Amino acid sequence: MQLHRLKLVTIIVEQILQEQIVAKARELGATGCTWSESKGEGSRGARHDVVSGGNVKIEIVCPGDVAEAILTFVSHNYFENYACIAWLSDVEVMRGARYLTKKA
Amino acid sequence: MQLHRLKLVTIIVEQILQEQIVAKARELGATGCTWSESKGEGSRGARHDVVSGGNVKIEIVCPGDVAEAILTFVSHNYFENYACIAWLSDVEVMRGARYLTKKA
Amino acid sequence: MQLHRLKLVTIIVEQILQEQIVAKARELGATGCTWSESKGEGSRGARHDVVSGGNVKIEIVCPGDVAEAILTFVSHNYFENYACIAWLSDVEVMRGARYLTKKA
| pLDDT tops 80 at residue A77 | yes
Which chains does chain B touch, 3 or more C-beta pairs < 8 A? Answer: A, C
* pLDDT of A94 higher than 80: yes
Mark yes or no for CB contact C37/B34 under 8 Å.
no
- Supply the pLDDT for residue B100: 85
Pseudo-torsion of CA A89, A92, A94, A97, nearest 10°? 50
Nearest to B39 among A36, A91, A93 (CB): A36
* Residue of higher predicted confidence among C52 and C40: C40
Q: What are phi and psi of A54, to 5 degrees?
A: 70, 20
CA-based radius of gyration for chain C: 14
pLDDT in tens, C10-33: 999 999 999 999 999 999 999 999
Q: What subunits make at least 3 CB pairs under 8 angstroms with C?
A: A, B
CA distance A63 to A90: 10
Q: Measured at the alpha carbon of residue A24, what is the angle toward residues A89 and A10, in degrees to the nearest 5?
A: 20
Q: What is the mean pLDDT of residues A56-61?
A: 96
Higher confidence at residue C95 or residue A18?
A18
Q: How confident is the model at residue A95 (pLDDT cuts 50, 70, 90)?
A: confident
Residue B59's pLDDT is 97
Mutate to test the interface with B, among C43, C50, C58 (most CBs of B within 10 A): C43
What is the enclosing helix (H) or strand (E) of C80?
A: none
For residue A2, the model assigns a pLDDT of: 86
Instruction: Give the percent of chain A with pLDDT over 90.
Output: 65
Q: At residue C21, what is the residue type?
A: I
For residue B87, the cross-strand partners are: B10
What are phi and psi for residue A72, nearest 5 degrees? Answer: -65, -45
Report all structural domains of chain C as residue ranges with CATH numbers, in order of start: 4-93 (3.30.70.120)
Interface test with B, best of C85, C89, C91, C92 (most B CBs within 10 A): C85
Q: Say whether A93 and B87 touch across the interface (CB within 8 A).
A: yes
CA A58 to chain centre: 5
* CA B97 – CA B82 distance, rounded (Å): 34
pTM: 0.89
| Min Cα–Cα distance to chain A from B88, Å | 5
Is the model's pLDDT at A65 over the cut of 50?
Answer: yes
Query: What letter would DSSP give residue B81?
Result: T
C-alpha A41/C-alpha A33 separation (Å) is 24
Q: What distance in Å separates the CA atoms of residue C53 and residue B57, rounded to the nearest whole number?
A: 15
- Closest approach of chain C CAs to the CA of B30, in angstroms? 9
Q: What are the Cα distances from residue C3, in Å, to B40, C91, C98?
A: 27, 9, 13
What's at A104, amino acid-wise? Answer: A
CB pairs under 8 A between A and C: 64
H, E, C per residue of C34-69: EEEEEEEEEEECCEEECCCCCEEEEEEEECHHHHHH
Spans of chain B below 70 pLDDT: 43-53, 102-104
